[in-house]
Amino acid sequence: MKTPSRPLIRSAVAVAASALLLAACTGGKEQGAAPGAGAPPQAPAVTVMTVATASVPMVTELPGRTTPYLIAELRPQVTGIVTERAFNEGSEVKAGQVLYRIDPAPYQAAYDSAKAALARAEANAQVARIKAERHAGLVKIEAVSKQANDDAQAALKQAQAEVAAARAALDKAKIDLDYTRLKSPIAGRIGRSAVTAGALVTANQAQALATVQQLDPIYVDLTQSSADMLRMRSEIAAGRLQASTKGEVPVKLILEDGSEYAAEGRLALSEVTVDEGTGSVTLRAKFSNADGVLLPGMYVRARLPQGTRSDAILVPHKALSRDPLGNALVMAVDAESKVVARPVQVAQSLGEHWVVTGGVKAGERIIVEGLQKVRPGATVKAEEAGAAPAAPAAAAQ
C-alpha cells in the first residue's frame, strides 16, 4: 500500500480547519438570537372611556306621508255642456272663484218659467183672499151660507199653498241656474282638468272635473307601532322614563333628501284605534307650508320627543359592535386589564352616540379605540380617552 504524500495531507488538514471555523461562527450567531425568541408578547394598547349615567331626552323617529289640509273634488251638480274652463291648471284659486261654466240656457228658461208660475199663483191667492174676507163678513149677517164661507176659506188656503209650491220651484230653478257656474269651495292649488270646453258633464258624476287642495298648512300622517307605544307607557309607569309636560308636542321633519324641514310642526291628533292589518296607530302633525316645499304624498320622517331618561348611558358609535346574530355588544376592561364582552340593550341613536339602557353600569371602562386588536379574555394596556399618552421608557431615560 502506497503512503499518501505530504502535500495531500496538508490540504486535507486545511479544509477541516476551515469547516470547524465556519461552524463556530454560525453557532455563535444562533446562540445570540435564541434569547430574544423566547420573550413574552407585549399587551396591545387600547383607548377606553369610563361610562356614566346621564339625563337624556328620548326622541322617536316615525315614517309618514304628507296630506293636504283641505281637499275638494269638483263635480257638476247639473247636466250640460261645458262652455268655459276659467282657470289655469296648477294655479292658486280662491274660495268662491268660478272654475267652470256650463251652458245656462235651459236652466235660465226653467227659472223664468218658475218665476211666472209664482206670479200666477200669487194673483190667484189675491183673488181667493178677497173672496174669503167678503164671505167672512157676510156669513155673520147670514147673507151667505156657512158652506159657501167654508168653501171660500178653503180656496184661500189652497191658493196660499200653491204660492208656496211655486216659490219653492222658483228657488230650485235658481239653484240649478247658479250650479251652471261651478265654483271652488276652498282656497288652494288646483290640479289638472279632466274636461275641456265642449265636454258633456252630468249631475253628480263619478269622475271629478278637477281637485283643489289647500297645502298651507299641511298635515303629515305618521305611523307608530302599538308595541312601541305600550313599551313607552310601561317605562313611564315604572319611572324609568319621565313623560314630557302636557301641552303641544313639537315635531321636526326630515325630508326625503335627508335635510331638515325649516318649520317646526305640532302634533294635532292621535288615532284612537289600532290598524288591524299593520298593528300601528296613526298620528297626525300640522306644519306651515308657506313656501310650498311640502307636496301631498311625500315620504318624510318625523322626530317626536318621548320624554327624558335619567339613567341612560351614552356610548360612542365606534365602541359598539355586533355579534354574528346581530346582537349589540361592547368590549369592557375589568380590574385585571382583561377584555370582557358585554351584550347591551340599545334604545336609540342620539347624535354620535348610542343610548344604552342595559348591559353596562356606570363606572365601567369600555374600549372605544383598538377593538380590532383585542378579543375577549386578552390582557390589554388601557389608556383613558383624553389622557396624555405615557412617555416611552427610552424617552424617560
Q: What is the CATH number of the domain that holds 128?
A: 1.10.287
User: Do 272 and 320 share a domain, yes or no?
Assistant: no
What's the rounded mean pLDDT across residues 20-43? 51
CATH number at residue 359: 2.40.420.20
Report whether 319 contacts 353 (CB < 8 A): no
User: Do 194 and 223 share a domain, yes or no?
Assistant: no
The two most distant CA atoms of the chain are separated, in Å, by 197
* pLDDT at res. 390: 43
Of residues 182, 169, 172, 168, the one with CA closest to residue 80: 182
What's the rounded mean pLDDT across residues 374-384? 86
The residue among 309, 336, 352 that closes a domain is 309
Query: Virtual CA dihedral for 238, 241, 242, 243, nearest 10 degrees?
Result: -100
**Each residue's pLDDT tens digit, 128-169:** 999 999 988 898 888 889 999 999 999 999 999 999 999 999
User: Do 108 and 92 share a domain, yes or no?
Assistant: no
Most confidently modeled range among 222-236, 261-275, 332-346, 379-393:
332-346
C-alpha separations of 198 from 214, 304, 306 in Å: 29, 51, 57
* pLDDT at res. 281: 86
pLDDT classification of 392: cutoffs 50, 70, 90:
very low
The Cα 51–Cα 333 span in angstroms is 12
User: Do 159 and 187 share a domain, yes or no?
Assistant: no
Phi, psi of 11 (to 5 degrees): -65, -40
Position 212 in a domain: no
Please give the DSSP secondary-structure letter assigned to residue 239. T
Query: SS3 of 48, please?
Result: strand
Position 39 in a domain: no
User: Do 84 and 136 share a domain, yes or no?
Assistant: no
Going by C-beta distance under 8 Å and a sequence separation of 6 or more, which residues neighbour residue 176? 78, 107, 110, 111
User: Do 197 and 285 share a domain, yes or no?
Assistant: no
User: Do 194 and 98 share a domain, yes or no?
Assistant: yes
Residue 204 pairs in a beta bridge with none
The residue among 256, 283, 309 that closes a domain is 309
240, pLDDT greater than 50: yes
C-alpha separations of 160 from 128, 153, 166, 243, 383 in Å: 9, 11, 10, 69, 104
Instruction: Quote the mean pLDDT of the chain.
Output: 83
User: Do 247 and 282 share a domain, yes or no?
Assistant: yes
User: Do 81 and 203 share a domain, yes or no?
Assistant: yes
The Cα 92–Cα 94 span in angstroms is 7
Rg (CA), the chain: 47
The residue among 309, 332, 364 that closes a domain is 309
Position 33 in a domain: no
pLDDT classification of 26: cutoffs 50, 70, 90:
very low
User: Do 140 and 252 share a domain, yes or no?
Assistant: no
**CB-based contacts of 385-393 (< 8 A; 24+ apart in sequence):** 385/47, 385/48, 385/49
* pLDDT at res. 13: 43
**Each residue's pLDDT tens digit, 65-104:** 999 999 999 999 999 999 999 999 999 999 999 999 999 9
pLDDT classification of 18: cutoffs 50, 70, 90:
low
Q: Among residues of the chain, what percentage have pLDDT more than 70?
A: 83
User: At what angle are helices 105-138 and 146-178 packed, to 10 degrees?
Assistant: 160
User: Do 222 and 293 share a domain, yes or no?
Assistant: yes
* pLDDT at res. 300: 94
Position 94 in a domain: yes
* pLDDT at res. 347: 80
Position 350 in a domain: yes
Position 50 in a domain: yes
Of residues 193, 202, 187, 183, the one with CA closest to residue 101: 183
* pLDDT at res. 2: 46
What range defines the domain where residue 159 resides?
A: 104-178
Task: Count how many domains the chain has.
Answer: 4
CATH number at residue 271: 2.40.30.170
* pLDDT at res. 70: 95
CATH number at residue 190: 2.40.50.100
Position 3 in a domain: no
* pLDDT at res. 206: 94
Residue with the three cell numbers 168653501: 151
* pLDDT at res. 103: 97
Position 9 in a domain: no
Q: What share of the chain is helix, strand, coil (3-state, %, to 5)?
A: 30, 35, 35
pTM of the model: 0.66
Query: SS3 of 199, please?
Result: coil
User: Do 188 and 88 share a domain, yes or no?
Assistant: yes
